Amino acid sequence: VRRILVCANWKMHGTVASVQAYLETLIAQAGAADAEIVLCPPFTLLPAALLIATGSSVAIGAQNCHWADKGAFTGEVAAPMLAELGVRFAIVGHSERRHHFGETDATAAARAQAAQRAGLAVIFCLGETLAQRDAGETFAVLERGLLVGAYEPRWAIGTGRNATPAQAQEAHTALRRRARELFGDEAAERLRILYGGSVKPDNTAALLAGNDVDGALVGGASLDAEGFCAIIHAGPGRRSGA
């Protein structure tokens, strides 16, 4: 049985003042939710978020981490530094990292390994561009990138244009099939594959209806606490393994 995971990715938004009010709303509502809930604010807000979320059912994650445990990498943050704070998750390989900062499957994989070494759970993002989808390369892109995953078709991120539930389920099924080949049946059944890309309160239930869609990675719509809570409550809490 896979527990649904709903993750808010604030990207480069938020203030210390806003994280306090947001988490108070989220924590008040999260207790009643069956799904696992994660907030990934910018690095600067992690200490405040962790302090507020202590003892609650909301976990805190980072939006990235470096592949080295320490070293001369100005401006980067190492996974052990995050773990020391109490951070439990790390998003790795997000499409915005790939698009704006030259992240590749190889660097993303190295970051994911560093996160795992530090004991962080990895939310590994992968997904095709619109050109790749139009060229029929979706499954090749997914196969190349697979570790553990959040499927985020790049044409659906911040565009208001989400994948249809059928497109999401089809991609997730392919990812799980590939995971089965790479890691075996048991690991593939445990793997939670999240969908990300223009998830909103009103499309969550349909997107999460697919048997292989085990949660959501939410960008824009996660910035509003009430809206994010509506997303949490719109989905099922658990997915029975196939």
- Does 152 participate in catalysis according to the annotation? yes
Site for ligand 13P (CB under 6 A): which residue of 29, 169, 198, 203?
198
218 contributes a contact to ligand 13P by CB under 6 A:
yes
Q: Which of 65, 133, 131 is nearest to 94 (CA)?
A: 65
Query: Tokens in use for 24?
Result: 């108070």
**63 vs 169, which CB is nearer to ligand 13P?**
63
Task: Report the first-to-last Cα separation within the chain, whole angstroms.
Answer: 9
Rounded to whole angstroms, the Cα distance separating 44 from 98 reads 22
94 is catalytic: yes
The residue among 79 and 218 lying less far from ligand 13P, judged by its C-beta, is 218
Among 9, 64, 169, 203, binds ligand 13P (CB under 6 A): 9
Q: Could you tell me the smallest distance in angstroms from the CB atom of residue 123 to ligand 13P?
A: 9
Cα angle, residue 145 at apex, residues 139 and 147 outer, rounded to 5°: 115
From candidates 27, 87, 217, 234, binder to ligand 13P by CB under 6 A: 217
Task: Considering the complex, state which of residue 9 and residue 138 has its C-beta at the smaller distance from ligand 13P.
Answer: 9
Residue 55 in 3-state DSSP? coil
- The nearest distance, CB 235 to ligand 13P, in angstroms, is 15
- Nearer of residues 12 and 72 to ligand 13P, judged by Cβ: 12
Which string of DSSP letters, residue by residue, matches 166-230? HHHHHHHHHHHHHHHHHH-HHHHHH---EEESS--HHHHHHHTTSTT--EEEESGGGSSHHHHHH
* Catalytic site residue from 96, 103, 152, 172: 152
Q: Which residue is nearest to ligand 13P (CB)?
A: 219
Q: Where are the beta strands (DSSP E) in the chain?
A: 2-3, 5-9, 36-40, 58-62, 89-92, 121-126, 149-151, 194-196, 215-218, 238-239
Distance CA 212, CA 220 (A): 23
- CA 242 to CA 72: how far, in whole Å? 46
Q: Which amino acid is at 97?
A: R
- Closer to ligand 13P at the Cβ: 14 or 80? 14
> Nearest approach, Cβ of 176 to ligand 13P (angstroms)?
20
Mapping DSSP to helix (H, G, I), strand (E, B) and coil, where does residue 37 land? Answer: strand
Catalytic pick among 94, 96, 172, 233:
94
User: What does the per-residue mask of binding to ligand 13P show for 80-119, with x meaning CB under 6 A?
Assistant: --------------x-------------------------
Residues forming the active site: 94, 152
Residues forming contacts to ligand 13P in the complex (CB under 6 A) are: 9, 94, 152, 157-158, 196-199, 217-221
